[in-house]
A and B are shown apart, each in its own frame.
Chain A
Amino acid sequence: MKKLLTVLLSGLLFIGLVGCSSNDEKPAGGDEEITVYFLTKILGNQYWSVVEEGARAAADELGVKLVVTGLANEAEVEKQVQQLQDAVSAQASAIVIGPVDSTAMANPVSDAFKSGIPIVAVDTMINTDDFSAALLTDNVAAGRDAAKSMIELLEEKGVSKDEVAQVAMQIGNSGSQTIIDRLAGFNEYWDANAPKTWEVLNKDVKVNDGDITKAVNFTQDFLTTYPNLKGVFGANNGSTVGFVTGLTEANRQDIAMVGFDFSPEMEKFIRTDGFTASTIVQKQYMMGYEGVKVAVELAKGNKPAEKVIDTGVLVVRKNNIDNPEVQEIINPTK
């Protein structure tokens, strides 16, 4: 029994050490009493790790303590509710949250907000008015930018205005408001500005559930099915990578491509001679960075001028990829 207790106590000691070491992280000289909880959406995810980097950079710069918690997958709504409650119990000075589900998180966020702690949503909107600020991409506007870029690319490729040209699309999942907005923006700009003979294949939008293998297969099927296919549009990162892989494998340099988000695959594709591509890059680093800054201001009692802040997007192509202002967004840590 004695031995067992020893083992147990040493286990507790271990937790204690970890617990304390994280408590000692407070940078010297800053607002030591301010602790911001950052509830990221998916831990270890490419996109969210950039948001987190931005948040950490802002916390370091302002000298506040940042506590990061997150989820293993998008289905863990209940866990995010718990993390939110824990942040409230911990009397966080402010909470920055990437809501895992706009509707399901509405009540819990509202409860937390009513406890008096400022809440800043990043990346995803929350379906309640009970939050202090939100920093996100205006996805309808981003969709319009994507359509504008697609038309430019097709014109550059020499597709004429009275030629039949088809554009295929695929998406990650059909329920997400983000995707719905991007497609709406894309179609809105397209209908107003593209030649009448150019057609978006809205009746055959493929849903790949974020599975890259599926996305590649869909690309191949598009290439087989539509002889007049001139362009493809991926409305999220997974779809974009699927198109990149599919087009590279088939070496279809005649197809123009517009994607979303920035990945090593997309960078290589944009830089490859022969292919014509652009990608709509969200400023997720800025969401994390500005999100924490706004949160700290709120903790000090200063409200931002606007409640909902559009962080904007950037259209990245071969001719601007090495510009400093583009590099700053796609490689923020360098």
Chain B
Amino acid sequence: MMKFMKRAVKADDGEVKVLSHISASGRKALFSGVALILLFSFFAITKKGLFLSTGNLINIAQQVVTYAIIGYGLTFCLVSGGTDLSAGASMALSGIIVLTLLSMGIPWPIAFIASLIFGILMGILNGFSIEVLGVVPFIATLGTQWVFRGLANVIVDGKPIYTNVIASQSTQDIFYLFGAGKIGGTGLPYSVIIALVYGIILYFVLAKTRIGREIYACGSNLEAAKLSGINTVRTRMFAYCVSGFSAAICGILVTSRISSAQPMAGQGYELEAIAASVLGGVSNSGGEGTIINTIIGALMMGVLRNGLNLSGVNSFIQQVIIGFILVGAVALEVYRHKKQS
């Protein structure tokens, strides 16, 4: 009886903690939201018509899609207390799988589903290495990054393949729509809608469902989560599957957008996605952050890049600026934590 009570108390404690972490993400979302608005206003004022033109705003949205979707997956991993360095390579491999299947004449819905299932399998491999074999996430996913990148190269013999390998012209046209196509009249790209809808779904999964709360519990205190009866192996495995699945969606969109599957595509995207998530307020030490933080962070990166390109700032200086902002943002975070405690 005592034992049971103890467990109940722990669970309660965990629940309280989880809630406080979600509201912390809210505060951070507010904070980075303000930063995003400032950034946006800055470019809106300095670049006026150019920056605020409908065409350019759509460009920004379209450019943010990749980092946002990979960022969603990484947010699940980061919140659960892990990380996924294999996301960029998973993206490349999924792209190659989907285009290879299409080139074999397989109907596109089946090719898409197969590629997405493969994404989940990549997540399971990551989760297995980390949770069952006990390899730390950083090393496990670094290893699988090489595995996925290697496989991508093996399948296509190191050369990019192009969408003209798809025999049917109508399939080619449909495939091109997903990444580059725009909804007639509005000029809004399908990929942006996909990213938005997928983001809303994942927001609810992470913030409102049981598995979502369990992911927070794992990330804030793994031991406590275990003691409160959470199946932490299953929970964290789920986070990696979301990451693999997201990378696969991204692989399909990017392959469509650039009309080719490149085995070396997506190099470093996982790091850009981590940077975007952290900028938006997802904690890199686990237990804190929502998909809203990720979207805000990805938009900050997108607005920054686009604004700097429009201002004619050279790429080297852009790297310097974005690097400083990233370090600065995390330093602010550390400072706030110190002040609170």
Contact = CB atoms under 8 A, between A and B. Distances in A.
B316 A173 contact: no
Interface string A71-89: 0111111100111011111
Interface stretch (A18-26, A215-223, A268-276): A18-26
Interface string B326-341: 0010001000100000
Interface string A1-27: 000100111011011101110110100
A321 interface: no
Interface stretch (B7-15, B258-266, B289-297): B258-266
A12 B38 contact: yes
B260 A77 contact: yes
Nearest to A72: B268
Contacts of B59: 82, 85-86, 89
A15 B306 CA distance: 13
A89 B50 contact: yes
A68 interface: yes
Contacts of A90: 50, 309-310, 312
Interface stretch (A101-109, A184-192, A291-299): A101-109
Contacts of A25: 312
A206 interface: no
A76 to B, nearest CB: 8
B198 interface: no
Contacts, number: 131
Interface in B182-225: none
Interface residues of A, number: 50
Contact of B321 (A8, A14, A101, A107): A14
B26 to A, nearest CB: 15
A75 B265 CA distance: 5
A174 interface: yes
Interface string B51-87: 1010110010011001000000000000000000000
Chain B: interface size category = 35 or more
A85 B63 contact: yes
Given A8-B38, A90-B50, A91-B50, A104 B160 contact: yes
Given A87-B309, A89-B50, A101 B63 contact: no
A65 B180 CA distance: 31
Contact of B63 (A8, A82, A104, A105): A82
Contact of A78 (B55, B265, B336): B265
B258 A104 contact: yes
B315 interface: yes
Contacts of B316: 43
Given A22-B311, A81-B258, A75 B267 contact: yes
A72 B267 CA distance: 10
A69 B314 contact: yes
A75 B267 CA distance: 8
Contacts of A14: 321, 324
Interface in B311-325: 311-317, 321, 324-325
B253 to A, nearest CB: 10
A127 to B, nearest CB: 9
Interface of A: 4, 7-9, 11-12, 14-16, 18-20, 22-23, 25, 35, 43, 65, 67-70, 72-78, 81-83, 85-91, 101, 103-108, 173-175, 209
Please provide the 8 A-B residue pairs with the shortest distance between their CB atoms, ordered closest to farther.
Answer: A75-B264, A175-B159, A86-B309, A67-B312, A89-B56, A19-B311, A104-B260, A104-B258
29 contacts: A14-B324, A15-B42, A15-B304, A16-B42, A18-B313, A18-B321, A19-B313, A20-B46, A22-B312, A68-B315, A75-B264, A77-B260, A78-B258, A78-B265, A82-B59, A82-B305, A82-B306, A82-B309, A86-B306, A86-B309, A89-B51, A89-B53, A89-B56, A89-B310, A90-B312, A103-B160, A103-B259, A104-B260, A105-B258
